[in-house]
Amino acid sequence: EKCEEIARTNDYSHGDLNKYSQKLGGVYLSENLSIGADLNDIMKALVTSPSHLGAIQDPKHVRVGFGICSFRGVTLVVQHFGV
């Protein structure tokens, strides 16, 4: 849902993160957004960024949701984390 919203509006802000908490079935904590030419580049960027990697490795995050979409010649990955 978030991926398509970004593609439609061209708004890359995190916005109202709480609206995704029900989809994760718990309390929403964090969101990672990454855009790139392909998934390899995107994942490399996520794991080499301390704040993005921190969200991925945070032991409190026991629920995760992913969105992947392609638009305008790029790929976007959205990661939602919750407890």
**Predicted model pTM:** 0.82
Residue 22's alpha-carbon distances to 4, 54, 63, 74, 78, in angstroms, are 18, 23, 11, 28, 16
- The alpha carbon dihedral of 51, 55, 59, 60 has a sign of positive
Q: Can you state the percent helix, strand and coil of the chain, rounding each to 5?
A: 40, 35, 25
pLDDT band at 24 (very low <50, low <70, confident <90, very high): low
- Residue predicted with more confidence, 47 or 67: 47
* Secondary structure element (H or E) that encloses residue 23, with its range: helix 21-24
